[in-house]
Amino acid sequence: MVSLGYAATGDRHVHHAHRHALSAPPPPHGSAGSRPRGAADARPRTPAQGGPTRTAPRTLPPHTVFAERLLAVLSGERPVHWMLGHTVGAAYEQLVRLAPETPLRSLGPRPVLRRCSVQVHSPQAVVEAFATIATGARVRAMAFRLERGEDQRWRCAAVELDGLGTTTGHA
């Protein structure tokens, strides 16, 4: 049953019916959780004070980022124009032709990137990557080439899917 209680916050009252429906009941009046938060309570707590520990955001390697991007486009989760600026040469035009067919779309579970590895040709400029994509019990293969431009950004130059042959190529 949903409680339609109200809690005082400063001079105004805030309705908490939605919060009660989605979470545990509010703490009883008089407990530490029911008093209004003051400025001192709003400061973040350090790990020594029992607050959350903060870790640096994990940075994925470029080939994994591109594998996820290509998977999103070829499964229909993202529009093909999401790859604008992330492709070079004929790669974008071929993705425009291929994406409406959504070759990696599944009627069952969402396709997921299972593994992504690289073969480095020139560590500063060219990487060929291959990935396995799982959709339930089915596993598909995808290969793609990344090239680093003068602006030091990686861009997709070629894509190949199992059974579909070369879908794009770089001249």
pLDDT 10s digits, 127-138: 999 999 998 888
Residue 44 pLDDT more than 80?
no
Residue 107 pLDDT more than 90?
no
Strand partners, 145: 128, 158
What string of DSSP letters covers 131-148?
Answer: EEEEETTEEEEEEEEEEE
* Mean of per-residue pLDDT scores for the chain: 76
Give me the pLDDT at residue 45, please: 60
Distances (CA, A) of 78 to 5, 68, 74, 82: 42, 11, 8, 7
Global confidence as pTM: 0.62
Taking alpha carbons only, the member of 92, 147, 141 closest to residue 115 is: 141
Give me the pLDDT at residue 167, please: 45
Q: Which residue has the higher pLDDT, 71 or 17?
A: 71
Average pLDDT, stretch 94-116? 89
Give me the pLDDT at residue 137, please: 87
For residues 111 and 104, the answer to whether their CB atoms sit within 8 Å is yes
Eight-state DSSP code of residue 51 = -
Give me the pLDDT at residue 17, please: 41
pLDDT 10s digits, 46-85: 666 666 666 777 799 999 999 999 999 999 999 999 999 9
The helix, strand and coil proportions of the chain, stated in percent and rounded to the nearest 5, come to 25, 30, 45
Share above pLDDT 70 across residues of the chain, in percent, rounded to a whole number: 63
Residue 25 pLDDT more than 80?
no
Half-sphere exposure of 22 (CA within 13 A, CB side): 4
Give me the pLDDT at residue 55, please: 72
pLDDT grade for 2, boundaries at 50, 70 and 90: very low
